[in-house]
Amino acid sequence: MIHGLSANKRTFKEVSFSPGMNVVLADRTEAATMKDTRNGLGKSTLLEIIDFCLGAEIDEGQGLGVKALEEWAFTLDITIGPNRVRVTRSTKNHKKVSIEGPADGWPVKPEWDKHLGASCLALKDWKDVLASSMFGLPLVFEEKYRPTFRSLISYFVRRSNDAYNDPFHHFRNQKEADIQVNNCFLLDLAWQKANEWQLLKDQLDGINAVQKAMKSGALQGVAGTIGQLEAEKVRIEGRAKEERQALDEFRVHPQYRQIQDEANDLTKRMQELVNANVADRGRLRMYETAVADEQSPSDDRIEALFREAGVVFKDGVKATLAAARDFHKRIIGNRRTFLGAEMERLRRRIDGREEAIKALSDQRSGLMSILKTHGALDEFARLQEQHVKTRERLEQLSTRISEMKDVGKKKRDLKVAQAELQRSAEADYEERRERWEQALHVFNENSQALYKSPGNLIINVAETGYKFGVEIQGSGSEGIGKMKIFCYDMMLAEVLDKKRPWPGFVIHDSLIYDGVDSRQRALALELAAKKAQEHSFQYICTLNSDMIPEADFSPGFKLDSYVRLRLTDKDAGGSLLGIRF
């Protein structure tokens, strides 16, 4: 039970709480103008301070973490187990809390801090004390996913807007594992199985990520489906076989390169000889043509030449016709002799080259035969290197196919494990029927107190874990959605009071009544007062004065009797902190 709240600043409005229902009311004064507002009076800040004293972190520059509050310290007067204590925590030194009062039965005892002049606990130890005392949680868990004090208490001190969207969540990005584990714990279901489900899900998520990476090529190596990789493996195996056969048949000649160079040199020399013969044969044909075409001129032609010469030259310089004929015959003879000798020389050169070409050709054929049946060492090395790469690719394919098959098997095994866990959870669910049936009955009873048609609390055991839901007819409206949360929280307070340690209080911000029909708002406040009294728990809520459905309350119900603190918008002093910031 929470007895009161105070601070180290005189402007703070101290508040005392009683057993049963307690209301903090934000009232609008007649002097206030239309620009004045009750938002900022401190209703939500009150919840934040209580949660802060219960170990909540503060965000720098927001809420209690603003600079204007850096010297503030808040004290919560609270009964924890058998001990009534005063817990003080400052915004400046928020890693420690000071404790006034007995600590009987606490798993961690406060120690004197000479700097603070008080018995203190480190924040972590304080949360361990609260976990043990309020929920009976051990200090050490074997399970990875387990109920935690800060998550559990957030169902009883609903602070943020996100906490009023769904009964089973207390903040927007709450993980599914946290939702399952903590709600199972509160509903007395096997939360350990929720831990097992999440562990299996983690493994499945990992396997799915690996499979996706394998298919997309994000992992180094090869990419594709098993079928695609098997097809490539068959192709690579064929290539590897061909390369292996080529290597087995490969014969290395130690002087392969020298022989290759000699063969190339012979080819070059043969080409030079061939070119020379082509040139000589051209000259030989020219000479043969000249010899065939060249003839001695006729006597008539010589005589004609002499007659023409006689016209030009004197008789004294004229040779006789016979002498000219003899001279010309000698010239023709000499020329034929010369051409004949030249042609013979060319024929001998051509024949010599042909014989050299044949010899070179025979020599080159021998070398080429060696090159054909042997290979160079570096060529053999290149073949080996290529074969090694092919074998490496083949090994990669085989390994990846094996990995993918192994991953597939693990995935199937995990699916089997999930199914087995579901069967086990269903059996446990049946064994706990009496416990959860009570929760369903109380939720039904709470919803029926607010609406004509009763609502349902739904608990399913699905393939991936426990699934929770609530149904109230007309639940599409914002107001009915808020009342689902109200009915769930009231149910928890009632059933936990009989079963196990729990905080003993439920705290709601005025947000839970926003958008709720006036009649249902009145019924909800009356139900909260009745349940809190019957089951000895404390209900604390904040309200704006214009939210009070006076006309809809039952005769004899007086909300004013539950009001523990009034905040006004007359001036800054009317707010919880007594200051504006």
Asked if residue 562 and residue 482 are part of one domain, the reply reads yes
Answer yes or no: is pLDDT of 49 > 50. Answer: yes
Average pLDDT over residues 113-138: 94
pLDDT digits (tens, 9 = 90+) for 282-338: 888 887 887 777 665 555 665 666 566 555 544 554 556 566 667 667 777 777 788
- Choose one of 328, 347, 374: the last residue of a domain: 374
Between residues 569 and 181, which one has the greater pLDDT? 181
Query: For 259-273, 367-381, 471-485, 563-577, which range has the lowest pLDDT when averaged over its residues?
Result: 367-381
Residue 318 lies inside a defined structural domain of this protein: yes
Residue 396 lies inside a defined structural domain of this protein: no
Asked if residue 445 and residue 365 are part of one domain, the reply reads no
Residue 407 lies inside a defined structural domain of this protein: no
Asked if residue 457 and residue 338 are part of one domain, the reply reads no
Could you tell me if 24 and 565 are in contact, meaning their C-beta atoms sit under 8 angstroms apart? yes
Residue 421 lies inside a defined structural domain of this protein: no
**In the prediction, which pLDDT does 168 show?**
96
pLDDT digits (tens, 9 = 90+) for 519-538: 999 999 999 999 999 999 99
Residue 319 lies inside a defined structural domain of this protein: yes
**In the prediction, which pLDDT does 307 show?**
64
154/421 Cα distance (integer angstroms): 29
**In the prediction, which pLDDT does 146 show?**
95
pLDDT digits (tens, 9 = 90+) for 93-107: 999 999 999 999 999
CA-CA-CA-CA dihedral for 538, 543, 549, 554, to nearest 10: 10
- Choose one of 374, 400, 416: the last residue of a domain: 374
Answer yes or no: is pLDDT of 272 > 80. Answer: yes
Q: What is the mean pLDDT of the chain?
A: 86
We report the CATH number of the domain holding residue 135 as 3.40.50.300
Asked if residue 185 and residue 108 are part of one domain, the reply reads yes
Between residues 509 and 268, which one has the greater pLDDT? 509
Average pLDDT over residues 553-559: 95
**In the prediction, which pLDDT does 547 show?**
92
Asked if residue 146 and residue 21 are part of one domain, the reply reads yes
CA distances from 206 to 197, 211, 466 (A): 14, 9, 21
Residues in the chain: 581
Please give the share of the chain, as a percent, with pLDDT higher than 70. 86
The angle that helices 226-249 and 377-431 make with each other, rounded to 10 degrees, is 150
How many distinct structural domains can be found in the chain?
2
Please give the share of the chain, as a percent, with pLDDT higher than 90. 52
Q: Which helix (H) or strand (E) holds 458?
A: strand 456-462
**In the prediction, which pLDDT does 322 show?**
66
Instruction: Give the three-class secondary structure for 76.
Output: strand
Banded pLDDT at 406 (limits 50, 70, 90): confident
**In the prediction, which pLDDT does 115 show?**
87
Asked if residue 153 and residue 40 are part of one domain, the reply reads yes
Q: Could you tell me how far CA 40 lies from the centroid of its own chain? A: 41
Between residues 387 and 466, which one has the greater pLDDT? 466
Question: Where in the sequence is the domain holding 512, given as residue range(s)?
Answer: 2-189+432-574
**In the prediction, which pLDDT does 36 show?**
43
Asked if residue 178 and residue 97 are part of one domain, the reply reads yes
pLDDT digits (tens, 9 = 90+) for 33-46: 444 444 578 999 99
pTM of this prediction? 0.73
pLDDT digits (tens, 9 = 90+) for 447-460: 999 998 778 999 99
Asked if residue 178 and residue 29 are part of one domain, the reply reads yes
Asked if residue 446 and residue 327 are part of one domain, the reply reads no
Residue 484 lies inside a defined structural domain of this protein: yes
99/87 Cα distance (integer angstroms): 5
Residue 379 lies inside a defined structural domain of this protein: no
Between residues 151 and 340, which one has the greater pLDDT? 151
47/60 Cα distance (integer angstroms): 18
Tokens of 489: 């929280």
Residue 479 lies inside a defined structural domain of this protein: yes
72/74 Cα distance (integer angstroms): 7
**In the prediction, which pLDDT does 349 show?**
87
- Choose one of 348, 374, 400: the last residue of a domain: 374
Asked if residue 448 and residue 362 are part of one domain, the reply reads no
508/493 Cα distance (integer angstroms): 13
Closest CA to 337 of 294, 299, 285: 294
Asked if residue 97 and residue 13 are part of one domain, the reply reads yes
Q: Could you tell me how far CA 265 lies from the centroid of its own chain? A: 65
Asked if residue 159 and residue 91 are part of one domain, the reply reads yes
